[in-house]
Amino acid sequence: MIVCVAVVGHQNNPLYIQSFTDADDSLKLRHIVHCSLDVVDERVNNPKKSGPTLNETFLGLLYPTENYKVYGYLTNTKVKFILVTTDLDVKDADVKNFFRRFHAAYVDAISNPFHEPGKKITSKTFAERVSTIVKSFGLSSTG
Partner 1 sequence: MGREVSESCVDSLLTEMVSMYCNRLYANKPELAASRIDAIGYQVGHQLSERYTMERPRFTDHLDAIKFICKDFWSELFKKQIDNLKTNHRGTFVLQDNRFRWVSRMSLDPSENGDLSQENAEAAENKAAQEPNMHLHFSCGVIKGALHNLGIACAVSADPSHLPACSFVVRIKP
Cβ of residue 104: shortest distance to partner 1, in angstroms?
7
**What is the distance of C-alpha 5 from the center of its chain?**
5
Those residues with Cβ within 8 angstroms of residue 136's Cβ, 6 or more apart along the chain or in another chain: none
Those residues with Cβ within 8 angstroms of residue 83's Cβ, 6 or more apart along the chain or in another chain: 2, 4, 5, 70, 71, 72, 73, 95, 98, 99
Per CB under 8 A, contacts with partner 1 among 2-61 are 10, 53-57
- The contacts found for 132-136 with CB under 8 angstroms, 24 or more apart, are 133/98, 133/101, 133/102, 133/105, 134/2, 134/5, 134/20
Please tell me the count of residues contacting partner 1 according to CB under 8 A.
19
Stretch that binds partner 1, among 14-22, 61-69, 70-78, 124-132 (CB under 8 A): 70-78
Of 89 and 114, CB closest to partner 1: 114
Of 38 and 116, CB closest to partner 1: 116
x-marked contacts with partner 1 along 103-132 as a string, rule CB under 8 A: xx--x--xx-x---x---------------
Residue 3 and residue 84 in contact, taking contact as beta carbons nearer than 8 Å: yes
Please select the residue that binds partner 1; options are 8, 74, 90, 130, rule is CB under 8 A.
74
The residue ranges that bind partner 1 (CB under 8 A) are: 10, 53-57, 74-79, 103-104, 107, 110-111, 113, 117
